[in-house]
Structure 1
Amino acid sequence: MAVGTKFREYLSPGGSSEGERKLVQKLDFFILTFCCLMYFLNYLDRSNLTNAYVSGMKEDLDFKGNELTQINTVFTVGYVIGQIPSNIALYYVKPRIFFPSMLIVWGCLTMVTAATHNPHSIMAIRFFQALAESSTFVGTHYILGAWYTERELGKRSGIFTASGLAGTMIGGFIQTGIHSSMDGLQGLAGWRWLFIVDGLICLPVAIYGFLLFPDTPSTTKVPYLSETERELARSRVPRHVERAPFNWSFVKRVFGSWYFYGFVMLWIIAGETESFSSNSLLALYMKAHPERKYAVSQLNNYPTGVPAVGIVSTIFWATLTDFLGGKRYLVGYWIGLTGIITSAMILAPSATTASTFGAYYWAGSVYACQATFFAWANDALRYEEDSLRAVVIASMNAGSGAVNAWWSIIFYSADFAPKFTRGVWAMIGCSIALVIWTAGVTWMCVRTEEKRVSQGVETEEGGDEAISVDGGRDEKA
């Protein structure tokens, strides 16, 4: 088959029959619109904390030293604590109830931020916001893995991840507009209005989720899917006998599985290669520049190029690795190369402002690992029990967050601006480690797949059997 024909076939809604294509179109609309809007709003507020900081909040609330970094660390701690409980909660509370409820809590706390008068109040608020937001990323990847086939998953994961980057990018423009048009309105500073607006727009999205989110294939009762479509959805992905997930036997299965160690460590390393972007270093570099004074609009608008690069890179790599048959490992090598080169550009004695900007923009391309690595985990665990997949995915993000809670203070504290020399060297180390670990996980995936095939387990979607984590096989439910 010609490459062009194969690519056009890949970009189609999915499936070999008209009924399956119609089903995938419905899933794309109702799952992706809600999840992407939810993630967009999460990241809009995340990025707007830094936007507010450089737009007057620092002076109004009398921030000292690395208090902004401490707030981000407190947020990370709450985020880590909430990861696994959030994914476990999806077994007991329907996603169409749980996700929108957490979004409402998030939105209300965002609006409360507008009333704060000191950094310590923001710390407390951000901790509880993190608990609410912890369900979004890992929960959505769990849901995507439950509905979509291996051929479809990367592209959808990429679109979802890109929506968060869009929130980061658009946040700067929103802050610029609010600062110019609402600063001083009703006696409130522009940065306070920013949080009020962010919180209010969460409410209609939450209502949409309550009404139309489809839950999972085995529990969905939404009116827009017929019984035939529900059965088709259940047949598209492997089914498993679910053993009681939350007992000592399950804990031993988790910690006895290479998937847990392989993918959790993969994301811990990869998560730190995002540090240039996730810690908003370009904005802090500009704010602390020793020679140039940037206007508020420039401080908010120029860094939006970083997530813009991230969006393009995410969609490109997610689509390419789908098209190449799920070769997600390629992204690990790209990120390793990018981390080393961009770090060298920043460290170079001859580095100029232009080359530093270029390095930070290029570094935004490492965001591609979010979509592809979580799709990789979903792919690798496709024939395992759902509870293991849920815990591994949640543990990946929890592990990364646990490291990032102290990593950002040690290497990317706000008072290290503008050079962040210590952090740049750490980036080189992470990039080398990622290349090595990616090769190891790739080898384990190939070895496990060969073992599964040699045992006669069906490899196609909807296959008859699945290997359990302890090496046995479960009959299809």
Structure 2
Amino acid sequence: MTTQVVSPTKNATSTVAPVVEFDLKEEKSLVWRLDIFFLTIGFLGYAFKYLDQTNISNAYVSGMETDLKLYGNELNYFTTFFKFMAYVFLSGFSKAQLGPDILPSSGQYFNSSQKSCMLTLQSSQWYLPHEMALRMSLYNIAQPVGAMLSGAMQGALSTNLEGALGRTGWRWAFIINGVCTIFIALLAFIFLPGFPDRPNPLARFYLRPQDIVVAEERTRRISRDPQLGINLKTFLRCFKFWHVWLFSIAWSIGTNTTPSNYFNLWLKSLKNADGSLKYSVGMLNYLPIAGQALQLVAELLFSGFSDYLGTRLPFLLLHSVINITSLIILIIRPESESAYMAGWYMNYVGA
């Protein structure tokens, strides 16, 4: 690494931080190392987050409803309690106390409900603004990837492990998913880098001392403020900003009213003329995979062209138009089953 440190200049009121000049290859090396380790563990953790979540609805249509007698609104109560406990346990104060490398890892054990927020926060400290969009899209496509894995796993286990060792297929799905989730969480303790000013000591095997120097200089280059801990005063101050309230309301509505989450429940309600179920347990898990694949491709296209053309608004508007159109179709509920099915798949694209 070729560096030149210019001594800080001082006057009566301020001190200018040293300017570090480094080889461009060192900067590319840092980004490459982050992509290999940080981006990979972030993608896996995010994918298993959605695998954890989707497993509930997939298990519901694969026998859990009958086995646990989850009738009426009990599925809604089940999922609400499941998410509520994770969010309460991993609150903002937990972030401040556990630290950026520990919280997402521990969060993996609790359905990773806060993992996505912390991964976004850490990414914003290591990557420059023009490097963020495509990399964040990789976290976003982890959502359909995790859901696709859940559907494929639930369908396969319902067919091949049903009754093995006295357990139903949906129970095996939770067991296997749990083992994989714990393994990813343990890797996250090592791979997550922390912040440039507070790097994770366990990540030293890929983040060398000169990488930290480069990262801090990149941060100074764009005048990015370092992350500070949360105390009671700063926590209460957050409630004074209207942005927090608007974002919280929009996020709550947007993430909890996505119709595509209930696609397989609608499929389960369909019956043949003789009253028998139209789709088998396997198909109830496999058909949503096509929608999740569409969501994955759409995410890559939207983010890729957005980065390539250097504009965001047209793609945000297109995404919103597709989403609103799908919601209109699902609300109207046309008599044609094919048209209604198209509305579900459009909702995956706009999700």
**How high is the TM-score relative to the length of structure 2?**
0.82
What's the counterpart of residue 77 of structure 2?
Answer: 70
- Higher Rg of the two aligned structures: 2
Residue of structure 2 equivalent to 1:301: 286
* Displacement of 1:255: 3.2
- Pair 1:339 & 2:323 matched: yes
Say what the alpha-carbon RMSD is for the aligned residues: 2.6
Letter in 1 for 2:49: N
Q: Does 1:148 align with 2:127?
A: yes
**Paired amino acid for 2:75:** L
What's 2:244 paired with?
A: 260
Give the C-alpha shift of residue 134 in structure 1. Answer: 2.5
Q: Does 1:282 align with 2:275?
A: no
Post-superposition CA distance 1:65-104 (Å, at most 9, x none)? 121122122223334434642xx4343334333332332x
| Distance of aligned partners of 1:50 and 1:349 in 2 relative to their CA distance in 1, 3 Å threshold | closer
Matched, 1:195 2:180: no
Distance (Å, rounded) in 2 between the aligned partners of 1:324 and 1:334:
15
Whether the 8 Å CA contact 1:217–1:234 is kept in 2: the answer is yes
Deviation, structure 1 residue 262:
4.6
Q: Which residue of 2 aligns with 1:182?
A: 161
Cα 1:24–1:190 shift into 2, 3 Å = same
Structure 1 stretches lacking a partner, 5+ long: 1-14, 107-128, 368-477
Matches for 1:200-215 after TM superposition, within 5 Å: 200-215=179-194
1:266 Cα deviation (Å)?
4.2
Q: AA paired with 2:84?
A: V
Identity of aligned residues (%): 25
> Which residue is equivalent to 2:4?
none
Instruction: After TM superposition, give the deviation of residue 341 of structure 1 in Å.
Output: 1.7
User: Mind listing any 5+ residue stretches in structure 2 that lack a counterpart?
Assistant: 1-21
Summarize deviations over 1:428-473 as a string: whole Å, max 9, x none: xxxxxxxxxxxxxxxxxxxxxxxxxxxxxxxxxxxxxxxxxxxxxx
1:365 aligns with 2:349: yes
Aligned pair partner of 1:227 in 201, 206, 209: 209
Change (3 A) 1:319 1:268: farther
Equivalent residue of 2:97, what SS? coil
Q: Which has the higher contact order (CA 8 A, sep 6+)?
A: 1
How do residues 25-174 of structure 1 correspond to structure 2 at under 5 angstroms?
25-82=32-89, 84-85=91-92, 88-103=93-108, 106=109, 129=110, 133-174=112-153
Distance 1:227 1:77, change over 3 A: same
Runs of 4+ in 1 over 6 A off after TM superposition: 241-244
Question: How far apart in 1 are the matches of 2:209 and 2:142?
Answer: 31
Closer/same/farther in 2, CA of residues 286 and 79 from structure 1, 3 Å limit: same
Q: Is 1:240 equivalent to 2:200 in the alignment? A: no
Q: 288-297 or 225-234, which moves further after superposition?
A: 288-297
Instruction: Answer yes or no: is the 8 Å Cα contact 1:151–1:325 preserved in 2.
Output: no
> Deviations 1:285-323 (Å, cap 9, x if unpaired)?
111114452111111100112222221222222233333
